[in-house]
A and B are shown apart, each in its own frame.
Chain A
Amino acid sequence: MSTTLVPAVREETPFRRFVSEFAASKLALVGLVGFTIIALLAIFASWITPQNPYDLAQLDIMDGRLPPGSPSLAGYTYLLGTDDQGRDMFSGMLYGLRISLTVGVGSAMFAAVVGSSLGLLAAYAGGRTDMIIMRLVDLQLSFPSILVALMILAALGKGVMNVVFALVIVEWAYYARTVRATAMVERRREYIEAAECLALPYRRIMFYHLLPNCLPPLIVIATQQVARAIALEATLSFLGLGVPITEPSLGLLIANGYQYMLSGKYWISFYPGIALLLTIVSINLVGDQLRDVLNPRLKR
């Protein structure tokens, strides 16, 4: 046995391995494709929709509460019907999706920055700083998210920025806890010791050496938190505490349809709900697979 056959494989980089492991689950791919389509629909809403739902000149109150498939006066079809203002539900939904996604993704990213910075600080500084930050995390997590958001919005009032603020307050603790746990393990490794011996500034060690190695669990948490943020924002908007009526997200659209549902006009609430559901489920499918791929404990 002098020679062994080496199969011609592409060089395996961590990224390629990650992609192929992720693609192993068909369900996760469906989720990824679904989310991409939803995101594109939301981003290009103003080119896709037949009507700008906020341009009052394009609305006709005579077209109010038409069932799906009715023709409009302007010549196109109301694919998903109209709401009480004569607004095309399909157009309203895509614009609402845009607001829901912006608030959800924006708040999750903002919370990620705040939470992971505090988590890193807790792990790296240790001692009293660690204790104070983790006490805050414990306290925060002992209250249900809806209650914390309710308190903040009761004090601050409606508004997109207030909702984002409330969601960040609700979510930062999850990031802090996860990043701290990973960073506690990583900071005992040799490369951190080496960086410390080089007398690099703390900030540099924390954000250039420690943080990149805490990324895998951070990505998993971030995906899950985006889905949670979208659901929570929809709930708050449904309760009338979230976004203002001038910037209706999916939750507010559902709330608008609530009063017409008992008279059998289901489509005003039903379709925005389906859009919300598809968004959340597709993000969760991606998140579940990411968790399986990026979790070192489950590695074969």
Chain B
Amino acid sequence: MLTWIVRRLFQAFFVVVAMTVIVFIGVHVIGNPVDILISPEADQAERARIIAEMGLDQPLWKQYFFFVNDVLHGNLGRSFVFNEPALKLIGSRMPATLELAVTAVLFSICFGVPLGLYAGLRPDSFAGRAIMAGSILGFSLPSFWVGLMLIMTFAVHLGILPSTGRGETAALFGIQWSFLTWDGLRHMFMPALNLSLFNISLVLRLTRAGVRETLPMDYIKFARAKGLSPRRVILVHVLKNIMIPVVTVVGLELGSTIAFAVVTESVFAWPGMGKLIIDSINVLDRPVIVAYLMMIVLLFITINLLVDILYTILDPRVRLETKA
């Protein structure tokens, strides 16, 4: 077990090193680092000073070590646009994204499980079929367009929800959060719903499949035979057993929800990391792009590592498989 984790850690480390090489090549070999890392507004003297200071006149392998050294010290350059360290800038936008992603995941459970339960209990009813057809739409609709349609319906035509922005925020642990104010919640509803559509469909289908699988089981028949009320059989005996895969999948999806927040944040002008990276790409604010990519790659490698380790702890079959 321990050797397995050590080996897995070693692999993750190797991937991180590979990523730094790829990003380094992207910045220093394909692109011109002088253009990338120095503000276009700098004059000749300043350019020469920065080139010498950053060691861009050194051989390539030395430059790579400088780059890794900078990354390890959290020094990924300053944003041209905001004139702040890139990492600090991304950090300041992170709570907005996390808040949105977590709300979206909560939505996917709150909407997905009841709908899936209904579709599983009454698979042949009209509503059951309609829910399943709707879930296909949830998979195939491009989410940015759904976002636009939500704005058009709720903000433009009905005028009941605000279209863009984060609304009023309140401080908790020194960070500004939207979910603490009514105005912020109103602003968060549409983006969170938009972001969670895919996950709602996913959870819904998982729940429905789980219900269909669990209902014919002996322990359900036994619970019914004992004379338990249908409500108790469904809520306790059926639901408890299907929550395990649902929770696993939702946990796994948190990472891609953060990644897909890029789209939702752009549609709803939600000031999170995703909107920041898209704006940065459009104005070529390269230090921010590099910092975002390095950080998100690290985030994903950490998530994958944790999931793998948790799986081995929770499910002994995985452990046996790797030994064989």
Contacts and interface: CB of A to CB of B under 8 A. Distances in A.
B307 to A, nearest CB: 9
B148 A146 contact: no
Contacts of B66: none
Contacts of B297: 143
Interface string B129-155: 000000011011111110011011001
Given A146-B263, A273-B149, A154 B293 contact: yes
A181 to B, nearest CB: 16
A206 B214 CA distance: 43
A153 B263 CA distance: 15
A284 interface: yes
A273 B150 CA distance: 13
A214 interface: no
Contacts of A234: 142, 144-145
Interface string B143-179: 1110011011001100000010000000000000000
A290 B143 CA distance: 25
A154 B156 contact: no
B263 A235 contact: yes
By secondary structure, the A interface counts as helix
Contact of B260 (A143, A146, A240): A146
B229 interface: no
A276 B142 contact: yes
Given A144-B255, A146-B260, A254 B145 contact: yes
Contacts, number: 95
A240 B275 CA distance: 12
Given A146-B262, A151-B293, A239-B266, A273 B140 contact: no
A154 B140 CA distance: 26
Contact of A280 (B142, B255, B266, B277): B142
Interface stretch (A37-45, A49-57, A261-269): A261-269
A227 interface: yes
A155 B31 contact: yes
Given A155-B26, A262-B163, A273-B145, A143 B300 contact: yes
A261 B144 CA distance: 14
A239 B275 CA distance: 10
B262 A150 contact: yes
Interface in B1-33: 15, 26, 30-31
Nearest to A287: B140
B83 interface: no
A261 B30 CA distance: 39
Nearest to A138: B304
Given A154-B289, A280-B140, A284-B136, A264 B156 contact: yes
Interface in A210-236: 227, 231, 234-235
B256 interface: yes
B89 interface: no
Given A254-B145, A261-B148, A276-B142, A142 B300 contact: yes
B144 A238 contact: yes
A154 B151 CA distance: 28
B247 interface: no
Contact of A262 (B140, B141, B155, B278): B155
Interface string B255-285: 1100110110011000000000110011000
B296 interface: yes
Interface string A281-295: 100100000000000
Contacts of A240: 278, 281-282
A231 B142 contact: yes
A169 interface: no
Interface string A127-154: 0000000000001001110110011011
Contacts of A264: 156
Nearest to B266: A239
Contacts of A241: 278, 281
A277 interface: yes
A239 B148 contact: no
By CB atoms of chain B within 10 A, which of A151, A264, A280 has the most? A151
By CB atoms of chain B within 10 A, which of A147, A251, A262 has the most? A147
Nearest to A233: B142
A254 B139 CA distance: 19
A155 B23 CA distance: 9
B151 A261 contact: yes
A258 interface: yes
A23 to B, nearest CB: 20
Given A147-B296, A277-B145, 15 more contacts: A142-B304, A146-B262, A150-B262, A151-B293, A234-B145, A238-B144, A241-B281, A258-B148, A261-B148, A261-B151, A261-B156, A273-B142, A273-B145, A277-B140, A280-B141
Interface of B: 15, 26, 30-31, 136-137, 139-145, 148-149, 151-152, 155-156, 163, 255-256, 259-260, 262-263, 266-267, 277-278, 281-282, 289, 293, 296-297, 300, 304
15 contacts: A143-B259, A146-B263, A231-B140, A234-B144, A235-B143, A238-B263, A238-B266, A239-B263, A240-B282, A262-B163, A266-B152, A266-B156, A273-B145, A277-B140, A280-B142
